[in-house]
Structure 1
Amino acid sequence: MKKLFLSFVLTFLLPTLAMAAEYSPGNGYTLIKSPVRTASPDKVEVVEIFWYGCPHCFALEPLTQAWSADLPEDVDFKFLPAVFGRNWLAHAKAYHVADILNVVDKTHVNLFNAIHLDKRRLNSEDDLAEFFAQYGVSEEEFKKQYDSFAVNSRLKQADAKIRAYGARGVPGLIVNGKYLVTAETANGSNNIYNVVDYLIEQERKTM
């Protein structure tokens, strides 16, 4: 009986314990020094910091789409465009315009594809207005929103959040305002969402 019990422990419990200890600060993720408040205390918030021009963000996007396709109700997933350079600004504005006009589902993946697969130079207001026209947004409406108070306010809020997260590059995943996960910390882009899932489960235990 003792041997049977020991066999059970080795077969079932040890892998579980190993999995529980698989990730730690510096191994899988980075702790954010001062946790950033999330939108809802009843949900685990996951934020992806990205730039449309980033080849690493483009490579991660299929994994992001697959992971976010069937999220549980207690997980709130959001995109957050970063502006770490002058040529990032137009793309960040484009995302915020799409979000305000409720066309992110139509434009997000297609904008990545247009830049990285079709090699289109979508770096100006006019170029982006032409792109958005393919998805039912008139040039007039796009340009009305592009430099609007709403878009500029979102840019400032995003910049403040990204600074608070301590993120210095893209892509980066923020889990519940407490943890930063990157390809570097996760030991590869393919492992990013494994770490994110692990951290979501840890946060569930504290809620």
Structure 2
Amino acid sequence: MFQFRILSALMLAATMLFSVATSAASLWEKGTHYKELPFPVKTGDASKIEVVEVFWYGCPHCYEFNNDHLPQWEESFPDDVDFRLLPATFPGWVTHAEVFFAAEELGKIEEMHQALFDAIQGAPKKYQDRDDFVEIFEKHGVSEEQYMAVFEASGFRKISKIDEQVKKAGDRIKAYRLTGVPALIVNGKYKIGVRDAGGFANMIKVANFLIAQERAALTAAK
């Protein structure tokens, strides 16, 4: 009798888990709440599940997502999730992408990402050119000379590291087939937009669903 009760409890638990998984799968539909990319984009670390947030510093919706939704979600990521930021490089947005990569090249992006967002959102017309950002970098311990040096061309191709990063970002944006931000890319296979998902909170829910799906696939492949 006791063994029967244990077996019944295990069967009930399994049924509940299956029900939850089935419910999530039916709730978030491919083609409606997220899109599958026709050609997967190579990720930075194949052993992990990559999540990329594509953003623009001049985008108020990106700012809201960054401030009100991303921090708590990012804290919840397990070790197998590789979260990355990618600035969009659409026409008129390249300067902000350059500044992001400059901060990254100088090892300052973690402390400056929020500061750049705050500054640009607070006075969007003030920050249009590279020179406009010198003061922000100086506040974070980077001299004007150090800041401007990262934009200098070098090597056989006579192209700066920042130009290379911007080009790579542009190539990824095209491969992701993005037309707007903010957007989330899960493991180089799926893209999630605010409108498709139905809001910021749902973007995260859809991403979590896809992360779990990719985790199951990685586990099965081992």
TM-score, with length taken from structure 1: 0.89
Measured in 2, the distance between the counterparts of 1:134 and 1:120 equals: 20
Partner amino acid, structure 1, of 2:29: S
Determine which structure has more spread, i.e. the larger CA radius of gyration: 2
Whether 1:169 and 2:180 are equivalent positions in the alignment is yes
Residue equivalent to 2:166: 155
> Runs ≥4 in structure 1, deviation > 6 angstroms?
7-12
Whether 1:75 and 2:81 are equivalent positions in the alignment is yes
Shift in Å, 1:120: 6.5
Measured in 2, the distance between the counterparts of 1:204 and 1:14 equals: 19
Shift in Å, 1:80: 0.7
Q: Secondary structure at the match of 2:44?
A: coil
1:91 to 92, 96, 101: 96
Contact 1:94 1:146 in 2 (8 A): no
Residue equivalent to 1:39: 44
Partner amino acid, structure 1, of 2:72: A
Measured in 1, the distance between the counterparts of 2:124 and 2:171 equals: 31
Contact 2:34 2:190 in 1 (8 A): yes
| Cα displacement string for residues 133-178 of structure 1 (whole angstroms, at most 9, x for unaligned residues) | 1111111111111344111111111111110111111111100000
1:137 to 142, 164, 167: 142
Measured in 2, the distance between the counterparts of 1:41 and 1:12 equals: 28
Measured in 2, the distance between the counterparts of 1:177 and 1:85 equals: 23
Identical residues among aligned pairs (%): 36
Contact 2:58 2:124 in 1 (8 A): no
| Cα displacement string for residues 96-147 of structure 1 (whole angstroms, at most 9, x for unaligned residues) | 0111111111110111111223556111111111111111111111111134
Which stretch has the larger CA shift, 113-122 or 92-101?
Answer: 113-122
User: Compared with structure 1, are the counterparts of its residues 89 and 42 closer, same or farther at alpha carbon in structure 2 (3 Å cutoff)?
Assistant: same
Shift in Å, 1:190: 2.2
Measured in 1, the distance between the counterparts of 2:170 and 2:195 equals: 22
Measured in 2, the distance between the counterparts of 1:206 and 1:152 equals: 36
User: Compared with structure 1, are the counterparts of its residues 9 and 76 closer, same or farther at alpha carbon in structure 2 (3 Å cutoff)?
Assistant: closer
TM-score, with length taken from structure 2: 0.83
Whether 1:126 and 2:131 are equivalent positions in the alignment is yes
Contact 1:125 1:146 in 2 (8 A): no
Q: Secondary structure at the match of 1:24?
A: coil
Measured in 2, the distance between the counterparts of 1:146 and 1:80 equals: 19
Residue equivalent to 2:198: 187
